[in-house]
């Protein structure tokens, strides 16, 4: 069972204590592409990279060496809705690890001399999309799905990255690297009392709340990005329900039927029976307040039209319902994923933080498993009749004439 507490400075802290010889945490800071300033898309990505150039008494090399000496396995990155910091380490270094991360959040150096290197890396990451056609397609697809900033790409826009200045980013850091709306989820072998003691430096963290715009969908459309690629990339997007919706588990089970393995409908109908693609899948891609289901296929130019037709057909066929056998297989698949995820405290810390962001509470694993197991065939099929997957946004990238 998780324990959750909201501090006076607005930081939400959660712990799931386990008999495990390690600790992991996930920290979500409310600085994502959605809240990037107008004209500075990519600011969150620049800030995340710039932060690691030093904090407090440590320069970039000193900070990296200090964390390495503690054996901290770490990652960080700016996303659509927030910037995430993740780390795992041994319990005996808990206090020193959080002292260093508190330095990062409250006393970053943000040195002028390190800024151009950070900008250069960000521009290279953006440019690399041109060599990743699927990534390029879904970036454009998301931009067309949302009228609100939820359609932005966390990598930003070239003109905005080039326009960014150290002064503007320091001001943005002060506005968005705030404990109000930040979430720290911890899992592993540490007590609540010891964790609170280790987090004392974060009690000094201050800032105002960051306002998030509500997600707003555009009208569905079809588009083609014409590129001289060897394969044609196909992307679909459908409005869906999020975890706050009563139909969420029915939708997740239906998605598992559609794309949950080598006996799923998409894999069977698109790849195995017709040999149309080398890759096909569907996956959730929603944001807070708006569920979204996306589907992908990569195929040859002469098979693109038939591939798209079969994908649309399989999505629409869900409204006719799933079978008892398909549902049983979907339940086993989701429960297996839960059990495998539960083995990793790093995965658990991540899911706890995500739950707190999306729902304002942490779902116990037993609750999720019971909801998956307790969802009936009638409930799934009633949901699919009421929420047919039709009229999607459709995007193609490659040597195509039309959609």
Q: What is the CATH number of domain 222-398?
A: 3.30.830.10
pLDDT of 258: 97
Q: Give the CA distances from residue 191 to residues 14, 315, 341, in Å, rounded to whole numbers and listed in that order.
A: 11, 47, 22
pLDDT of 340: 82
Per-residue confidence at 276, pLDDT binned at 50, 70, 90?
Answer: very high
Measure the CA angle with vertex 150, ends 352 and 180; round to 5°: 50
The DSSP bridge partners found for residue 59 are 54
Q: What is the CATH number of domain 3-204?
A: 3.30.830.10
What is the edge-to-edge ordering of all strands in the sheet holding 232-240?
A: 222-226, 393-398, 232-240, 291-299, 277-284
| Residue keyed to tokens 């007590």 | 191
Task: Give domain limits for the chain.
Answer: 3-204, 222-398
pLDDT digits (tens, 9 = 90+) for 297-316: 999 999 999 999 999 999 99
pLDDT digits (tens, 9 = 90+) for 143-162: 999 999 999 999 999 999 99
* In the chain, % of residues over pLDDT 90: 93
pLDDT of 339: 82
Asked whether the domain spanning 222-398 has the same topology as the one spanning 3-204, the reply is yes
Has residue 396 got a pLDDT over 80? yes
61 contacts 109 by C-beta, under 8 angstroms: no
pTM of the model: 0.94
Q: Give the CA distances from residue 380 to residues 9, 141, 292, 371, in Å, rounded to whole numbers and listed in that order.
A: 42, 28, 18, 12
* In the chain, % of residues over pLDDT 70: 100
In whole angstroms, give the CA distance from residue 313 to residue 307.
10
pLDDT of 191: 97
């Amino acid at each position: 069972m998780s324990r959750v507490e909201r501090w006076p400075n607005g930081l939400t802290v959660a712990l799931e204590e386990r008999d495990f010889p390690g600790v992991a945490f996930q920290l979500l800071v409310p600085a994502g592409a959605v809240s990037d300033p107008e004209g500075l898309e990519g600011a969150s990505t620049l800030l995340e990279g710039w932060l690691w150039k030093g904090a407090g008494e440590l320069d970039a090399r000193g900070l990296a060496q200090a964390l390495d000496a503690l054996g901290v396995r770490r990652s960080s990155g700016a996303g659509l809705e927030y910037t995430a910091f993740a780390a795992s380490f041994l319990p005996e270094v808990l206090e020193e690890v959080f002292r260093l991360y508190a330095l990062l959040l409250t006393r970053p150096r943000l040195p002028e001399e390190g800024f151009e290197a950070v900008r250069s890396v960000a521009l290279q990451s953006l440019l690399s999309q041109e060599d990743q056609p699927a990534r390029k397609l879904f970036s454009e697809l998301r931009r067309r799905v949302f009228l609100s900033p939820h359609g932005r790409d966390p990598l930003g826009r070239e003109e905005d990255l080039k326009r960014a200045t150290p002064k503007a980013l320091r001001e943005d850091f002060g506005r968005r690297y705030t404990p109000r709306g930040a979430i720290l989820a911890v899992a592993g072998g540490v007590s609540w009392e010891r964790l609170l003691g280790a987090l004392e430096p974060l009690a000094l963290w201050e800032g105002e709340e960051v306002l998030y715009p509500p997600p707003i969908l555009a009208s569905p459309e079809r588009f083609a990005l014409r590129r001289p690629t060897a394969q044609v990339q196909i992307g679909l997007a459908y409005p869906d329900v999020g975890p706050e919706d009563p139909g969420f588990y029915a939708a997740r089970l239906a998605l598992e039927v559609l794309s949950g393995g080598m006996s799923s409908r998409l894999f069977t109908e698109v790849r195995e029976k017709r040999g149309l693609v080398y890759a096909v899948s569907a996956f959730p891609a929603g944001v807070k307040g708006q569920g979204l289901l996306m589907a992908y296929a990569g195929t040859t130019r002469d098979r693109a039209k038939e591939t798209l037709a079969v994908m649309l057909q399989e999505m629409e066929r869900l409204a006719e319902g799933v079978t008892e056998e398909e549902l049983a297989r979907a339940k086993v698949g989701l429960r297996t994923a839960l059990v495998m995820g539960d083995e990793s405290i790093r995965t658990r810390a991540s899911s706890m933080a995500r739950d707190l962001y999306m729902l304002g509470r942490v779902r116990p694993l037993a609750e999720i498993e019971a909801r998956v197991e307790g969802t009936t065939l009638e409930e799934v099929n009633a949901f699919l009749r009421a929420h047919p997957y039709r009229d999607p946004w459709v995007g193609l990238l490659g040597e195509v004439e039309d959609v």
